[in-house]
Amino acid sequence: MILLDDVSKSYAVRGERKVIVEGLSARISDGTRLGLLGRNGAGKSTLIHCITGLAKQSEGSIEVLGFDTLHDFRTTRRLVGLVPQEITYDPFFTPLESLMIQMGLMGVEPNRVRAENLLKTFALDEKRDAYTRTLSGGMKRRLLVAQALVHEPRLLFLDEPTAGVDVELRRELWQEVEGLRAAGTTIVLTTHYIEEAERLADRIGILHKGQLLLLESRDSLMERHDGRSLEDIYLELIRKADGRPAP
Ligand code: ATP
Ligand code: MG
């Protein structure tokens, strides 16, 4: 379970405090697949960074499977896997080396067979020994997904994992998410492809100007809106929150 208790995050920008996430409380049960939606700058990545230990919240507390993300940082960091929105990689390592190193970082014994299997799963076996910098953009993103999975995390955060990947990989990634779900992994996914969230998520969260506008089961949300598409429902809710009339 992920427990967020009155979490706020602010940054000092040129001497002025800018609140990015504001007083957010939520409970995400084990095995949930949460689709976290919200427009550019809503605070999705910031929130994910606070949960996964890349950033510290300014106020409030976050628990991951009963461990506090600030006090038990090392424990919570190893319970989660993160596919970051920004593509990051070490240009001088190969995909195989990157996975082996990531295993070490995550506190598991480097296992070549597992690394090779992951490369196969994400169609990177042909690039196994190439410098990562020579991979295409989509291939780099595939590698990020594989890296996030090396330690078989119980919670997986996918921050726009399908931006810039081809249709085939998108489908493969969806399949992979289905498999992880069957294994009981909790998944938090952000995406601007709303139909992707509609398909993959069983709960929908909408973050709007740093606040949680909604956190509800996908089915009940869609039932309440007479079977309209999630994209239509999302647009209506965002518009309402902005005080704008429906078109
Ligand atoms: P997107 O859909 O574009 O990925 P997002 O919902 O993930 O958007 P965030 O990346 O969380 O949005 O950013 C939320 C706000 O926080 C933005 O206004 C951004 O400029 C600001 N922000 C993020 N990181 C910092 C930082 N290190 N310092 C100052 N402001 C920041
Ligand atoms: Mg983001």
- Rounded CA separation 78/38 (Å): 27
For 169-228, the pLDDT digits (tens) are 888 888 888 888 888 999 999 999 999 999 999 999 999 999 999 999 999 999 999 889
Task: Name the residue at shortest CA distance from atom 2 of ligand 1.
Answer: 40
Q: What is the mean pLDDT of residues 24-37?
A: 96
State the distance from the centre of ligand 2 to the C-alpha of 40, rounded, in angstroms.
7
* The pLDDT of residue 165 is above 90: no
Q: What is the mean pLDDT of residues 97-114?
A: 95
- Rounded CA separation 196/239 (Å): 21
- Rounded CA separation 9/34 (Å): 21
Atom of ligand 1 nearest to the CA of 48: 11
What pLDDT sits at residue 132?
Answer: 94
What pLDDT sits at residue 89?
Answer: 86
Is residue 13 lining ligand 1, measured as CB closer than 6 Å?
yes
Nearest to 148 by CA among 127, 176, 178: 176
Query: Edge-to-edge strand order for the sheet containing 67-68?
Result: 16-28, 2-13, 59-64, 67-68
Task: Name the residue at shortest CA distance from atom 30 of ligand 1.
Answer: 11
Q: What is the pLDDT confidence band of residue 22, given thresholds at 50, 70 and 90?
A: very high
* The pLDDT of residue 245 is above 80: no
Domains in the chain, start-ordered, CATH in brackets?
32-56+74-241 (3.40.50.300)
pTM: 0.94
State the distance from the centre of ligand 1 to the C-alpha of 11, rounded, in angstroms.
10
Nearest to 36 by CA among 184, 210, 185: 210
Is residue 20 lining ligand 1, measured as CB closer than 6 Å?
yes
Is residue 85 lining ligand 1, measured as CB closer than 6 Å?
yes
Atom of ligand 1 nearest to the CA of 85: 4
- Rounded CA separation 206/96 (Å): 37
Task: Decide which of 174 and 37 is more confident.
Answer: 37
State the distance from the centre of ligand 2 to the C-alpha of 51, rounded, in angstroms.
14
Close Cβ partners of 9 (under 8 Å, ≥ 6 residues apart): 19, 20, 21, 43, 46, 47, 50, 55, 57, 58, 210
Q: What is the mean pLDDT of residues 46-50?
A: 97
Average pLDDT over the chain, rounded to an integer: 93
Is residue 45 lining ligand 1, measured as CB closer than 6 Å?
yes
Cα angle 86-18-46, degrees, rounded to a multiple of 5: 30
Q: What is the pLDDT confidence band of residue 16, given thresholds at 50, 70 and 90?
A: very high
Close Cβ partners of 19 (under 8 Å, ≥ 6 residues apart): 8, 9, 10, 210
| Top mutation candidate among 8, 16, 46 for ligand 1, by most atoms within 8 Å of CB | 46
- Rounded CA separation 151/148 (Å): 8
